[in-house]
């Protein structure tokens, strides 16, 4: 896939999946604009010195003004990939309204604000690609037992993706999402040491799906929430 001279925003780009996505994008020739919230994220980011990586922060993606500033600084936006989010698991009886609101802010609100800013930029630029990140419980609701607030927020991301995709297709903007199962990351291995790690999708494999959906090679796919489960 050829991303030469194309500008791409990658939220959550300093995380495990983000490292794989940004790495693959710069290898394909993209210029990546990567917002971060905490200085420590930028300091440990392996590609922080790469000429094609622009770290921008601190940026609070739940705040409208911060998101608008982020996108205003990107010349001719081609793609916007939204990996930023949060996870929490707790029984419903122990989940407060504040807990629910936090999941909605981290997952739905960040995707909404970034999609809105990206659409406005892409309309001016003549089109582009957007990729959101849902999760397996967004498609398989019963798998969200014990994490209902998280599942609801990711299901909202899936519905939002489909609705926006239908709205902006005629502007040449193709919007999709991926829905990963548990990914093979050091943090997830530490949290679940007895799981079948070999069955989990690798971040590089999920990144490959994201890169296609965000690429010029994707000419027709829109409104999809693509399962990326591996063998799990």
Q: Which residues are catalytic?
A: 150
Tokens representing residue 142 in the block: 């019963």
Long-range CB contacts (< 8 A, 24+ apart) of 194-197? 196/232
Residues 6+ apart with CB under 8 A from 48: 42, 55
What sign does the CA torsion over 71, 74, 78, 81 have?
Answer: negative
Tokens representing residue 188 in the block: 């997830």
Euclidean distance between CA atoms 115 and 26, whole angstroms:
22
Euclidean distance between CA atoms 225 and 160, whole angstroms:
11
Euclidean distance between CA atoms 207 and 19, whole angstroms:
9
Euclidean distance between CA atoms 133 and 84, whole angstroms:
8
> Which residues on adjacent β-strands are paired with residue 128?
173
181 in Cβ contact with 232 (< 8 Å) = yes
Cα 173-179-58 angle, rounded to 5 deg: 70
Query: DSSP letters along 176-201, please?
Result: EEEEE-S-B-HHHHHH-TTS-GGGSP
């Amino acid at each position: 896939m050829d991303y030469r001279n194309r500008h791409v925003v990658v939220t959550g780009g300093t995380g495990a999946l983000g490292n794989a996505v940004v790495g693959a994008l710069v290898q394909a020739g993209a210029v990546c604009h990567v917002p971060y919230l905490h200085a420590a994220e930028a300091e440990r980011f392996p590609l922080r010195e790469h000429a094609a990586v622009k770290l921008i922060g601190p940026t609070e993606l739940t705040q409208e003004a911060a998101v608008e500033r982020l996108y205003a600084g990107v010349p001719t936006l081609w793609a916007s990939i939204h990996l930023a989010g949060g996870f929490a698991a707790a029984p419903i009886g122990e989940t407060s309204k504040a807990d629910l609101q936090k999941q909605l802010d981290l997952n739905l609100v960040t995707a909404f604000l970034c999609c809105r800013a990206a659409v406005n930029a892409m309309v001016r630029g003549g089109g582009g690609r957007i990729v959101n990140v849902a999760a397996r419980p967004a498609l398989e609701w019963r798998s969200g037992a014990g994490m209902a607030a998280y599942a609801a927020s990711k299901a909202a991301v899936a519905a939002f993706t489909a609705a926006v995709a239908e709205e902006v297709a005629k502007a040449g903007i193709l919007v999709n999402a991926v829905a990963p199962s548990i990914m093979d990351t050091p943090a997830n291995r530490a949290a679940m040491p007895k799981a079948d790690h070999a069955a989990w999708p690798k971040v590089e494999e999920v990144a490959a799906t994201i890169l296609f959906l965000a690429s010029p090679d994707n000419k027709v796919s829109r409104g999809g929430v693509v399962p990326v489960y591996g063998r799990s």
